[in-house]
Amino acid sequence: MTLTPTLPAAPVWPLAELMTLDETGPDTFRGRLTPPSAMPTVFGGQIVAQALAAAGRTVAPGREPHSLHGYFLFPGDAAVPLTYRVERVRDGHSFTNRRVVAVQHDRADREVFHLTVSFQRASALRDLDHQTPMPAAPAPETLAAASEVPPAHVHPAVIQRLREARHAIDVRYVYDAPFPGVTDRDRPATRVWFRTRHAPDGPGAQRHLLHQCLVAYLSDLTLLDAASPYHRTGQRADGRGVAVSLDHAMWFHRPLRADEWLLYEQQSPSASNGRGLVHARIYTADGRLAASVVQEGVIRLRASGRRPMPELDPYEADIDPFSWAVAKPETD
């Protein structure tokens, strides 16, 4: 399945162009360079999205991704394009499985990212259909863009990422609130409306995959920040702390479009041993549960006063201690 979108003159085109990979060999694809950024590493959502696009290039028409599971292994250099090598694991009657490895500098010992994707043959089955209801939220048009009016509890590095992409994406925070029926103040949910400002169209199968890739990109923008203590205390984020992604998983349940408003509800059920876990749901504006997301990441707080920082392992020497949620991908 080849992504060859007709790129519009709209500002989103560099984002869509990132999903258009160049074939460099059998089942091997090279990504386009990241747009200029103040961040030295490749954004994790971009790597997930490009790896998904690479897997889709090797799948027969009529099959769409329904789940993906990825692990971030090393930081990606934003100045160097990534190469994605796809392994055809299985081509079954109903399901197709692919494994993708992202590398840079053609170094087999420097694999940046691993992804496993499962595709399903399009089906009209209607024998099972239920979902968790969409939570109440004000219309996105009534809310301020996060890049223009950043919420105090959101880490400045996340806002920096949103500002850099403000011509391509629109992100609006709703509020922090418990899930319906949950009164435990220690379990707030972060709710965000997001969309791309435009998205190119194309043939059906290509269009669906492109929108799924774009949503995979968007899904990583605010996710790990939902596990930060600022969301639980309401305090202003002061720029301290380390947060880097370890893994990323998604399940696509129903059709969606990246250029239409999507409500992203995120909750962190646990943080321990220097790691934070976030569960999230993506709803269409008309209330359909379109996708689910889970991510775990390293979360370390910079100490104030005389309290020392925890000792880092040797493999953590390249973690940026001033980053939060955007210095990805890196590992413990």
Residues acting as catalytic residues = 220, 245, 295
Q: How many CB atoms lie within 10 A of CB 321?
A: 13
Whole-number Å distance between alpha carbons of 67 and 128: 18
Residue 211's SS3 state is helix
Angle of CA points 149, 241, 143, to nearest 5° = 20
Cβ-based burial of 139 (10 A; exposed 0-12, middle 13-18, buried ≥19): exposed
* Distance from C-alpha of 282 to C-alpha of 290, rounded to nearest angstrom: 6
At residue 191, the 3 state secondary structure works out as strand
Nearest to 228 by CA among 323, 113, 332: 323
Exposure class string for 259-294: b at 16+ Cβ within 10 A, else e: bebbbbbbbbeebeeeebbbbbbbbbeeeebbbbbe
Cα end-to-end distance, the chain, whole Å: 35
Question: Which residue shows structure tokens 């099972």?
Answer: 128
Taking alpha carbons only, the member of 301, 298, 300 closest to residue 329 is 298
Question: Quick one: how many helices (H) and strands (E) in the chain?
Answer: 5, 12
What is the pairing mode between strands 28-30 and 22-25? Answer: antiparallel
Instruction: Identify the DSSP state of 224.
Output: G
At 305, give phi and psi (nearest 5°). 65, -135
